[in-house]
């Protein structure tokens, strides 16, 4: 199939899922066209089936806001015609589903019927999309998609609760490529640079937005390091990072916390981590937790959103109520204090992660694509 994938190119879950999905589809022989405003972080154009088309929005003094949706829908129309693309797969409803629908309508005017699959990722529904300024357009474009998927049952339920959606939503969970992880090997030489042998390594990776509850991470770690030797790896960047650095100084633990900023070394950091923290306010899925589990790293998370569909309580880690840092720290110590318990949780985390191997998930998308194309013929 010839598929256009529209996504955000930045660090962040929905972009990562879209890129990895596209690359695996290309690997299976499909022709994939990524359409976005910048070359995505994880996109290596080494496969002849992978194409990248940049959306440019020319500056004009009259525009207070650049009309990105307009440029994106025009680009979609051009690329569909040029490459005879058969299907649009848009990731993150805002504004991609809206722009995709406009492209579909423009193409229809020229006699080209193309189906659109929209994948809902989380904040496009639970935070941003739900804002009254966007809500009518988000509802409209979801209802106008030919097929709608969500990355968890929890997000599906939220979508039906928050919007007036008449379409069926198919749950297709996020995934990881376990073969790639096995090939990279599990022992990294950098561990010794980051921590002493006797120190446990606790890690958090995110875009440091409020929803991630970054201060909770510092507070949980503070309690951990009071009991056992430990280091905290904070990977990523965003609005909450400066405050987190300040909090570490206030608690006098700055020498035990490393802030990496955005990093391309995520796999390496996970490979030497002992525990992953994800105490988010809400998380439709928690891809970062799954990535950690794929590296045999157990997860301490909140129980919000779809996290319980990924992190199995008492098996791959533990879940607590949002904000219950005492319970999260207690659970973390339960895992970290004994080598035997840690190893058991490590094994379990990997076992759970295997359920989300891309090999199991990709056919679910392929089937929906075929169904969407068939329905438009």
Smallest gap from residue 339 Cβ to ligand GMT (A)? 30
Binding residue for ligand GMT, selected from 22, 286, 298, 317, defined by CB under 6 A:
286
Point out which residues pair with 232 in neighbouring strands: 202, 257
Quote the Cα angle for 90-93-97, to 5°.
55
255, two tokens:
């020498």
The window from 81-89, 220-228, 251-259, 285-293 that contacts ligand GMT (CB under 6 A) reads: 285-293
Q: CA torsion 72→3→19→44, rounded to 10°?
A: -100
Tell whether residue 218 is a contact of ligand GMT (CB under 6 A): no
Closest CA to 155 of 95, 236, 93, 210: 93
The window from 9-17, 41-49, 217-225, 331-339 that contacts ligand GMT (CB under 6 A) reads: 9-17
The window from 8-16, 20-28, 43-51, 344-352 that contacts ligand GMT (CB under 6 A) reads: 8-16
Tell whether residue 282 is a contact of ligand GMT (CB under 6 A): yes
198 sits in which H/E element: none
124, two tokens:
């496009």
Site for ligand GMT in 31-90 (CB under 6 A): none
Binding residue for ligand GMT, selected from 12, 95, 238, 298, defined by CB under 6 A:
12
Q: What's the rounded Cα separation, in Å, for the pair 204 and 208? A: 10
Tell whether residue 174 is a contact of ligand GMT (CB under 6 A): yes
Tell whether residue 203 is a contact of ligand GMT (CB under 6 A): no
Site track for ligand GMT across 108-137, x = CB under 6 A:
-------------xxx--------------
The residue (of 225 and 284) whose beta carbon lies closer to ligand GMT is 284
Smallest gap from residue 29 Cβ to ligand GMT (A)? 25
Q: What's the rounded Cα separation, in Å, for the pair 23 and 33? A: 10
Q: CA torsion 121→124→127→130, rounded to 10°?
A: -130
The residue (of 114 and 181) whose beta carbon lies closer to ligand GMT is 181
The residue (of 222 and 312) whose beta carbon lies closer to ligand GMT is 312
Distance of CA 129 to the CA centre of its chain: 17
Q: What's the rounded Cα separation, in Å, for the pair 206 and 262? A: 9
Binding residue for ligand GMT, selected from 80, 103, 211, 248, defined by CB under 6 A:
211
Number of Cβ atoms within 10 Å of the Cβ of 374: 9
Q: What's the rounded Cα separation, in Å, for the pair 374 and 209? A: 41
Binding site for ligand GMT (CB under 6 A): 12-15, 17, 92, 121-123, 151, 174, 206-207, 211, 282-287, 305
């Amino acid at each position: 199939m010839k598929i256009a994938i529209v996504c955000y190119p930045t660090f962040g879950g929905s972009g990562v899922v879209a890129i990895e999905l596209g690359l695996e589809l290309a690997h299976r022989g499909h022709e994939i066209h990524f359409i976005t405003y910048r070359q995505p972080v994880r996109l290596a154009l080494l496969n002849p089936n992978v194409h990248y088309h940049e959306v440019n929005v020319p500056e004009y003094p009259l525009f207070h806001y650049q009309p990105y949706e307009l440029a994106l829908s025009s680009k979609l129309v051009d690329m569909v015609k040029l490459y005879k693309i058969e299907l649009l797969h848009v990731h993150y409803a805002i504004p991609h589903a809206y722009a995709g629908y406009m492209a579909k309508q423009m193409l229809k005017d020229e006699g080209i019927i193309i189906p659109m699959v929209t994948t809902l990722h989380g904040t496009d529904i639970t935070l941003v999309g739900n804002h009254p300024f966007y809500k009518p357009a988000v509802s409209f474009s979801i209802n106008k998609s030919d097929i709608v998927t969500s990355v968890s049952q929890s997000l599906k339920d939220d979508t039906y609760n928050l919007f007036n959606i008449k379409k069926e939503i198919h749950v297709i969970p996020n995934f990881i490529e376990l073969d790639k992880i096995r090939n990279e090997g599990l022992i990294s030489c950098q561990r010794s640079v980051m921590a002493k042998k006797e120190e446990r390594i606790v890690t958090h990776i995110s875009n440091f937005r409020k929803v991630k509850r970054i201060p909770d991470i510092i507070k949980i770690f503070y309690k951990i390091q009071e009991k056992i030797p430990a280091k905290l790896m904070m990977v990523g960047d965003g609005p909450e990072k400066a405050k987190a650095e300040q909090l570490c100084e206030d608690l006098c633990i700055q020498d035990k916390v490393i802030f990496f900023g955005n990093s391309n070394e995520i796999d390496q950091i996970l490979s030497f981590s002992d525990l992953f923290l994800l105490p988010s306010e809400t998380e439709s899925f928690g891809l970062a937790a799954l990535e950690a589990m794929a590296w045999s790293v157990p997860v301490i998370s909140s129980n919000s959103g779809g996290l319980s569909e990924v992190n199995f309580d008492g098996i791959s880690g533990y879940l607590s109520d949002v904000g219950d840092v005492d319970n999260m720290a207690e659970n973390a110590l339960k895992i970290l204090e004994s080598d035997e318990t840690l190893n058991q949780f490590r094994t379990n985390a990997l076992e759970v992660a295997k359920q989300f191997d891309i090999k199991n998930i990709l056919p679910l998308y392929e089937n929906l694509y075929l169904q969407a194309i068939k329905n438009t013929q």
